[in-house]
Structure formats: structure tokens, C-alpha cells
Amino acid sequence: MAVPLRPPAVPETVRVRLLSPLRVRRGGGYVRPIKFDFRAFAANLLRRISLLTYFCGEEPLEVDFAALVRSAEGVALRDAELRWRDLSRRSSRQDAVVPMGGLLGTFTLRAPELAAFWPCLWLGQWTHIGKGCTMGLGKYTLEPLDAESAGSWQGPGSL
């Protein structure tokens, strides 16, 4: 699946739909729905995109990560409908059952708050984020909620 090189214009409002369990660690444990915030989401997203561009890209991503993560604290999650889904897998190497649960559901973000994160948010639809992203966890899609943007998107769900 091809990734569009440039994201579309930042929409007025976008819904983030978590399609596979998102596992975000903070303070020694996994963030549950009641404690989930945009900072947790953004920090994991920025870390993932940064590592991928460093190891797989032609040049590392040059942004002030600390400032972006600080600004993420002020971004409000609107209409959040999140739940925890327990999953597990069997590890033959560890000879144990390994928990793989995480957050599923939706939340909404509004401009201009999301503008600084928009390129990474857009790309993250193809890279996934959080613990277990290499096994398919942390998959999400973005859905524009304003009619002007809705017809012009080429996200993972529409390709």
C-alpha cells in the first residue's frame, strides 16, 4: 500500500479511530481509558516516527520533540469513547502467555491544536504506535469530520 507523500490540509476536526489495541506505558504501567490523554498518544507517535526516519529514512526528523510533547499536554481529547480490551498471545520462546491488551475506541481532535502534530498524525496511520506496533498493535485511522475535507482524503481506509 502506497503512502501519500504529503498529508492533506489540516481538517477543522478529525476523529482518531483506534483499530487495534494501543499499548501506551507511563509510570510503570499501561495507560487505561480514564488516564489516557493526547500527551501519551503524541509522545508515542513522535518516538515511532523519529526512530523510523532515523533508521530507515534518508535523514532524521528534525523537530523539537520536548517542545511538541509539552504542547501536547494542552490538546484536549473530545468525545473520547475508549475502552480496554484484554488480549494475549502464547510465546514459545518465553514459554508463557504474554498480555497484549490495550485501548480501543475513538476520540476527536480540533484545529488549530492538532496542526503541529498533523504530518506525524497522518503518517502514523501506516506505521502504528505504542508497544507491540511491530505486531500490528496501535493501528489507527483518521476521519475528517468536516464536509470540506471528507471527500479529498486518501488515508489507509480509502486506499
Answer yes or no: is 48 within a domain.
Answer: yes
Inside any domain, residue 3:
no
| pLDDT tens for each residue of 54-78 | 777 777 667 777 888 888 888 888 9
Range of the domain at 121: 13-149
Using 50, 70 and 90 to split pLDDT, how confident is the model at 47? confident
* Residue range 119-148, pLDDT digits in tens: 889 989 998 888 877 777 789 999 998 766
Would you say residue 123 lies in a domain? Answer: yes
Residue 157 falls inside a structural domain: no
DSSP per residue, the chain = -PPPSS--PPPSEEEEEEEEEE--EETTEEPPGGG--HHHHHHHHHHHHHHHHHHHSSS-----HHHHHHHHTTPPPEEEEEEEE--EEEETTTTEEEE--EEEEEEEEETTTTGGGHHHHHHHHHH--STTGGGTTT-EEEEE-SHHHHTT---TTT-
Q: Which residue has the higher pLDDT, 139 or 156?
A: 139
The amino acid occupying position 12 is: E
Provide φ and ψ at 155, rounded to 5°.
-80, 180
Report the pLDDT value the prediction gives residue 140, as an integer from 0 to 100.
Answer: 93
Q: Which residue has the higher pLDDT, 100 or 69?
A: 69
Q: Confirm whether 159 is domain-assigned.
A: no
CATH number for the domain harbouring residue 65? 3.30.70.1900
Q: Does residue 158 fall inside a structural domain?
A: no
Closest to 11 measured CA to CA, from 140, 155, 149: 149
Q: How does pLDDT run across 79-90, given as a tens digit for each residue?
A: 999 999 887 778
Structural domain total, the chain? 1
